[in-house]
Amino acid sequence: MTTFPGSPRLVKGGIVTMDPDTTALRSVIALQYNPDTLSRTLQIQAVQGAQDGTRVDALRLRGPAVETIKLEAELDATDQLEFPKQNPITVKFGLQPQLAQLEMLVNPTVETLLSDDNLANNGQLEIIPLEQPLTLFVWSKTRVVPVRITDFSITEEAFDPNLNPIRAKVSLGLRVLNIDDIGLAHPGGRMFMSYLTNKQQLASMASSVAISVLGLGGLP
């Protein structure tokens, strides 16, 4: 990494959690190193043909494409361990705090579990589980999307003498939540619409070429 004073500041990708009712921020997690690759898959929501053979307009869409994102993030405590006095938590626990922060994205809190157990013991357990915080995946200011984590794996690659992990890789699979999942009125639904608006605006900036570039003099 260059220390040249004129070098641009690196923007990091990360994950934000917020209260789905008040939209108050709960946590901001920045990836230590931006992944070299990020894969996205869009599943088209086309109108299905009727079972009785009735012709259905093949150009119609039922809704936004279902987008999934996969990435692999690296964590390394080597730099922090070079300065133990400035990083006492890393010296004591290695990468465990950072890994635990990510793991809590897919786990209920102890308080939630105890509360549910007390309600169950009193015969008052709600049928609908308590709502988890809204999770956002941030990959630049034009790509802030509500997501549900669908896959999560950790590979710990190196350890200190106390078996604390000091180098690890985290693989994440994310499912973008669109308005079909959470509705327009939900804060996540509004964020998805903003994400789609940015995509639409970016698409309008791409230039269209002459049809002759495709070897055609015109359309049949």
Percent of the chain whose pLDDT exceeds 90:
70
Binning pLDDT at 50, 70 and 90, where does residue 193 land?
very high
| Prediction pTM value | 0.86
Residue 119 has pLDDT above 80, yes or no: no
Q: Please give the Cα distance from 166 to 26 (Å, whole number).
A: 26
The pLDDT assigned to 73 comes to 94
Domain map (residue ranges) of the chain: 14-43+60-110+132-199
Average pLDDT on 179-188 reads: 94
- pLDDT, tens digit (0-9, with 9 covering 90-100), for 50-86: 555 556 677 788 899 999 999 999 999 999 999 999 9
Q: Please give the Cα distance from 150 to 143 (Å, whole number).
A: 19
The pLDDT assigned to 108 comes to 87
Residue 196 has pLDDT above 90, yes or no: yes
Residue 3 has pLDDT above 60, yes or no: no
Q: Please give the Cα distance from 218 to 67 (Å, whole number).
A: 34
49 backbone dihedrals φ, ψ, rounded to 5°: -70, 145
Residue 197 has pLDDT above 70, yes or no: yes
Count of CB atoms situated within 10 Å of the CB of 172 = 23
DSSP string, 20-84: TTT--EEEEEE-SS--S-EEEEEE--BPPPPTT-----TT-BSSS-EEEEEEEEEEE-HHHHTST
Residue 192 has pLDDT above 70, yes or no: yes
Binning pLDDT at 50, 70 and 90, where does residue 118 land?
confident
Average pLDDT on 25-36 reads: 94
Inter-residue contact 16 to 138 (CB < 8 Å)? yes
Q: Please give the Cα distance from 72 to 98 (Å, whole number).
A: 15
